[in-house]
Amino acid sequence: MKKFWLILLSLGLVMAFSASAFAVDVKVSGEYYAAGMYLNKVHLKHSKGGADYTNPSTAFYFQRLRVGTDFIVSPCLKLVTRFDAMERIWGGQRSGYGGKDDDDDYDPRSAGTRAENENIAFDLVYIDYTAPIGQFRVGYQKESTWGTIFGNNGEATPTGQIRYDNTFGAFSVVAMIAKMTDYSYSAVTSASSTDQDYDSYRVGGVYKFKNDKVNGEAGVLLIYGRDATNKPGSDYITRAYTVNPYFKTAIGPVALQGEGFYTFGDAEDYESPTSTDVKIDAWRVFLDAAAKFGIANVGGSFAWLSGDDPGTSDSLEGYSSAGVDWNPCLIMFNNDVIGYWIGGLSGFKPANLAGPMSNAWFAQGRVGVQPTPQSNVMMSVSWAKADKAPMTTSKGPTPGTTYGWEVDLVGTYKITNNLTYMLGAGYLFTGDIFKGCDNPGNAHEITNNYMFINKLTLTF
C-alpha cells in the first residue's frame, strides 16, 4: 500500500512540474462608489392651463462596484475581464428579470440586464495578444473610445469586436470590426431572412509629437456603419460614413483639445423605387481649453451638434450624439445621475433631458482653485440651446429653443491615495424649449430645478 501511495505521489509531482501554467499572474483593479443625491423636482413641468402639476422631490443613496481582472498567461497574452456588481439604490425596488420582449429591462450601460447589474453582470471579456506584427484584441470590449471624451460611448453597452493596433515610431494605427446587432437565426433569435445585422468597420491613425515647447497628438478615424436591422419591417438599409479627426496638445500651462465628426451616407436607402430615400448630412464639433496658474485653474468648453431640419424631409442632419461618457453638467446632459439613476427630466413634449447631448449649441466656462494637493473646488456656468427647434407631434416645431442655463459648484477631497470624497450642487434655470408646443390655449409653465450630490469613491 505504501508503494502505491509513493508511486501515486511521484506521478503527481511529475505532472505538476511538467504541466503548463494556466496563468502566470492575476491583476485585479476596480472602483466602488457610494453616493447620495437630492433633486428638488422630478420633472420640469409646473402647470398647464393654470392647473399645477404634481412634482415632488426625490432623494436616495446609490452605489456600484466595478472590478477588472486580467489573467496574464504570458507577457504578451492575457484575458481581460470586467464586471459590475451591486449596482442599485439602497433599499430601492429591485428591477425585473428581463427577457426578449419589447418591454425588457436591458441596461443601456451594460452587456447585462438592469436586474443582473443589481447583482452581478460581466461587461468585458476579451483576449489581448501582442504579436510581433501588432496587438490583437478579440471579444466583448468598450464601444467607441477614440480621441477626446466627446462622442465616446465607453460607458454604453459593450460590443463584440476584433481589433488590431500597431505603433511605428510616432505613428500608430488601429483597425477594428464591431458587431453592433446580430439578427441571424439562432437559439435565442427568430429570423425569417438573412442579412439583418448592424456592423461597424473602423480604421484610423494617430501621430504623437513633442518638443521643448509643445507636445500632443492628432489623429483621424474613418467609420463605416451598415445597419440592416430595419430591412425586414421598413425595407431600408442605413449606410453611414463618418470622418472623425481630433487633437490634444499642451503648451506650457495650457491644455487644448478638440474633436469633429462629419457623417454622410444613407439614413434610409429603400429597395422600392417608389419610396423616398433619406440622406445623412450631420456635424458634431467639440473644443475645450484648460489652464493652470498656481493654485488657480480656468477652462471652457464648446460643442455644436447639428439638429434635424424639419424643412428637409429627404435629409437627416441630426444623426448622432455627444456620447454617454461626457457629462458636462450635474443636471443638463448628465447621462449618469440624471439619465441612469433618475431616469431623465421631462418637460412638455417633445422636450426631455435624458440621454446624451444632441441637437445643441453648448458653451461652458469654468474657474477653480486647488488650495492643497488633496483638494479642488470648481465652479462652472453652462448654457445650451437647440440647433433646430424639435418637431411636436402634429403642430410643427416648438417656439422655444433654449435648454437653459446651469450653475454648478463641485468640490473634491482626496482622503487617501485611493479614497476620494465629492460634494456638488447644481441649479438649472430651465429654458423655454421645455414648454413644448406652447400656444395660448395650453398656457404651459415650467419650473427651475436644483440638486445636491455627495459621493465617496474607493479605487484599488
| Residue range 94-107, pLDDT digits in tens | 776 544 444 456 67
Judge contact between 445 and 347, C-beta under 8 A.
no
Q: Does 438 reside within a domain?
A: no
Q: Does 219 reside within a domain?
A: yes
Residue 236 CA to residue 52 CA, distance in Å, equals 44
pLDDT tens for 300-313 read: 999 999 999 888 88
Nearest to 325 by CA among 108, 106, 39, 42: 108
| Ramachandran area for residue 230 (φ above 0: left; ψ -120 to 50: alpha; else beta) | alpha
Q: Does 240 reside within a domain?
A: yes
- pLDDT(22) > 60: no
Domain count, the chain: 1
Q: Does 360 reside within a domain?
A: no
Give the contacts of 51 (CB within 8 A, at least 6 positions apart). Answer: none
Binned at pLDDT 50, 70 and 90, residue 186 comes out as: confident
Residue with cell 474657474: 367
Q: pTM score > 0.85 for this model?
A: yes
Q: Does 418 reside within a domain?
A: no
H helices present in 176-303, as ranges: 231-234
Query: What share of the chain in percent tops pLDDT 90?
Result: 71
Q: Does 66 reside within a domain?
A: no
Q: Which domain holds residue 246?
A: 147-270+277-285
pLDDT tens for 314-350 read: 999 999 999 999 999 999 999 999 999 999 999 887 7
The pLDDT, as a whole number, for residue 99 is 45
Binned at pLDDT 50, 70 and 90, residue 20 comes out as: low
CB atoms under 10 Å from CB of 133, counted, come to 8
Residue with cell 437647440: 386
Judge contact between 60 and 453, C-beta under 8 A.
no
Q: Does 335 reside within a domain?
A: no
Residue 203 CA to residue 242 CA, distance in Å, equals 11
Q: Does 193 reside within a domain?
A: yes
